[in-house]
Chain A
C-alpha cells in the first residue's frame, strides 16, 4: 500500500499520579469529529486520561474505540464512568453517553479550562469545519460563526495537500518555513482548484516547501476573514488539530497581529475536555436532585 502522507499519529495518555478509585467524580467526554475522535476522562475536574484517533466509517464504534483506548492501562472500564457527554459531529452516536452537547459549547468550555478565564475568542480548526467562537469568563458561548460547507480552511484540506506533495502531515508546518522568501498565497479558495494551481506551480519549478507556504498562507487568510466577521476580543486561542500546524498558526497570527495563548494541554482534545467538564457538573446536579 502506498504511504498515506495525510495519516497523523493516533495516541493515548493517562496520569499515573491520579488515583481514579479515590472516590472522586469520574466524568467522560467523547468528541466524535468527522475526521478524528477524542476521548477524555477527568477525575474530580482534573484531566486523567485521553486519546485521539481517526474516526472510522462507523461512528458508534469510533466513540467506543477512542474511549476504550483512553482507558487503556488505567484499570477502568466504560461502566466505571459516572457521567459521559458526547459531542462533535457524531455526538448523537455515542452509545454510552448520558447526554449530547454541541461541540461549540464544549470547545468554549474546554478552552476556558485549558487557558483560563481570560479567553474570549476561540478558533476551533477541525477536520471538516472551522469555527470562530466568542465566550465569557466562564467559557459560556456568546456568539459564533462557522464554515462547514467548504474544505478550504480545514484539516481535511491540509491532508489533501500533504498527500499531493508527499509530505507527512506532521512535517507540513516546519517545512512551510524552510523557504527563501514568503511566496504569495495561492489564489484559489477551493481545495480542488488549489490542487490544480499547486500542480501548475510545481511544474513552473517551485519546490514543495514554497507551495506549502503558499497554501498555508491562503488557508490562514481564509480563516482570518471568518474571525474578522465575528470580531476578535483578547485573549485568543486556537484549538483543534490545525492548532498543531505552525505553518498555518504563525501566518494566521501574523495577519491578525495577535498571538494566541499557549496551553500545556493538547489542543485537539479541547472539545472532549469541555464535554467531560460538563459531565462532572451534570453528574453532581443529578446526584443533588436524587
Chain B
C-alpha cells in the first residue's frame, strides 16, 4: 500500500510517501506565492524519487496552513493532529510534541496512541516562531545556521526587553551599538524565543518524553535554549520539519488500512 502526506506550510511544502509504512520519498520545496503550483511540482518530484506513478498512491492526506487548497488530497488533517501522529511514529514514548515552524508554534499533549489530549498554539505573533529568529539573524547579518552555532559560544544571560519582533530588531541594533558581542546577542534572542514557547507549552503542561519538531529544531542555539528553559532533556527529531508531513502520510496509512 502506498500513501502520501503533504504539509503545506507558510514557508515550505513538504511531501512524504510511505510504502507499507516505510518512507520511500521525501521532498521539500519553498512554498512561494503559488502554493498550488508548488504542491504539484513537489508531488511530481516525490513520485519520481519513489519511482512510482502518481495514480499508484492509494491515499493522500494534506495538512498545514495551506491544506484547503491542496490538490489531489483525499483527506485534510489539522497541523496539530499531523504533528502528533508524526511524533508517535518517530518516538512512541512521546507525550509532549513541541512544533515550531516558520509562522506558528505549537505544544501538543498526546496519548500513547498518538491522540491529541490538549494543545496550545501561537499563530498571532511572530515572537514565538521561526520568522522571529530569521529577522534577528538578518539584523545581525548572520546566516541562520551560523546564528544558532554562534549562540552556543555565549555563557551570558542578557534579557531581551522587547517581545515583538519589530521592537526586538531595534533592541538588537542598540545592543550592537553598545558593542555587545554577537554571540551574546544570539543567545539572548534564542533564550527569548524559547521562553515564549516554553510558557505556551506549560499552559498545557509538559510531560516526558518531549519531542521537538518543525524547522526551528534544526537550530542548535534554539535547542540549547529550550533545554535550559525547560530544565529537562528533550528529544530532537532528525529532519524535524518532515514530521507533520509524515504524520499526514501515516494518517493516510491508518485510514487506508482500516477500510
Please name the residue on chain A nearest to B166 by beta carbon. A151
A-contacting 9-mer, from B20-28, B123-131, B205-213, B230-238: B123-131
| Interface pair A190/B174, CB less than 8 Å apart | no
A contact residues around B131 at 8 Å (CB): 192-193
Using known A-B contacts A189-B125, A190-B124, A192-B131, determine if residue A156 contacts B167 with beta carbons closer than 8 Å: yes
Distance to closest chain A CB from B168 (angstroms): 10
Complex interface bits, B131-161 against A, C-beta within 8 A gives 1, otherwise 0: 1100100000000000000000000000000
Main secondary structure of the interface of A (DSSP, over half): helix
Please name the residue on chain B nearest to A58 by beta carbon. B177
| Interface pair B33/A192, CB less than 8 Å apart | no
For residue A173, CB closer than 8 A to chain B, the reply is no
For residue A203, CB closer than 8 A to chain B, the reply is yes
CA of A128 to CA of B222 in the docked complex: distance in angstroms?
Answer: 27
Please name the residue on chain B nearest to A202 by beta carbon. B33
Distance to closest chain A CB from B111 (angstroms): 32
Within 8 A of B (CB), among A184-212: 189-193, 196, 200, 203
CA of A157 to CA of B33 in the docked complex: distance in angstroms?
Answer: 23
Using known A-B contacts A156-B166, A192-B131, determine if residue A150 contacts B33 with beta carbons closer than 8 Å: no
Please name the residue on chain A nearest to B102 by beta carbon. A196
Using known A-B contacts A57-B177, A203-B33, determine if residue A190 contacts B167 with beta carbons closer than 8 Å: no
Distance to closest chain A CB from B167 (angstroms): 6
Interface size, chain B (Cβ < 8 Å): 19
Using known A-B contacts A190-B124, A192-B131, determine if residue A149 contacts B163 with beta carbons closer than 8 Å: yes
CA of A227 to CA of B174 in the docked complex: distance in angstroms?
Answer: 32
Contact residue among B165, B170, B174 (Cβ-Cβ distance under 8 Å from A192): B165
Main secondary structure of the interface of B (DSSP, over half): helix
| Interface pair A150/B125, CB less than 8 Å apart | yes
CA of A267 to CA of B19 in the docked complex: distance in angstroms?
Answer: 67
Please name the residue on chain A nearest to B163 by beta carbon. A149
B contact residues around A189 at 8 Å (CB): 124-125
CA of A4 to CA of B131 in the docked complex: distance in angstroms?
Answer: 24
B contact residues around A128 at 8 Å (CB): 167
A contact residues around B246 at 8 Å (CB): none
CA of A160 to CA of B131 in the docked complex: distance in angstroms?
Answer: 16
Distance to closest chain B CB from A163 (angstroms): 11
For residue B103, CB closer than 8 A to chain A, the reply is yes
| Interface pair A193/B33, CB less than 8 Å apart | no
CA of A24 to CA of B227 in the docked complex: distance in angstroms?
Answer: 63
Contact residue among B10, B125, B173, B177 (Cβ-Cβ distance under 8 Å from A190): B125
| Interface pair B177/A192, CB less than 8 Å apart | no
Distance to closest chain B CB from A270 (angstroms): 22
Complex interface bits, A152-166 against B, C-beta within 8 A gives 1, otherwise 0: 000011001000000
A contact residues around B125 at 8 Å (CB): 150, 189-190
| Interface pair A157/B166, CB less than 8 Å apart | yes
Distance to closest chain A CB from B241 (angstroms): 18
Within 8 A of A (CB), among B16-52: 33
| Interface pair B126/A190, CB less than 8 Å apart | yes
For residue B164, CB closer than 8 A to chain A, the reply is yes
| Interface pair A151/B167, CB less than 8 Å apart | yes
| Interface pair B166/A191, CB less than 8 Å apart | yes
**30 interchain pairs (CB within 8 A)?**
A57-B173, A57-B174, A57-B177, A128-B167, A149-B164, A150-B163, A150-B164, A151-B165, A151-B166, A156-B167, A156-B170, A157-B166, A160-B166, A189-B125, A190-B124, A190-B127, A190-B164, A190-B165, A191-B126, A191-B164, A191-B166, A192-B132, A192-B135, A192-B165, A192-B166, A193-B103, A193-B126, A196-B10, A200-B33, A203-B33
Name 13 extra pairs, CB < 8 A, besides A190-B124, A190-B126, A191-B166: A57-B173, A57-B174, A156-B166, A189-B124, A189-B125, A190-B164, A191-B126, A191-B164, A192-B126, A192-B165, A193-B126, A196-B10, A203-B33
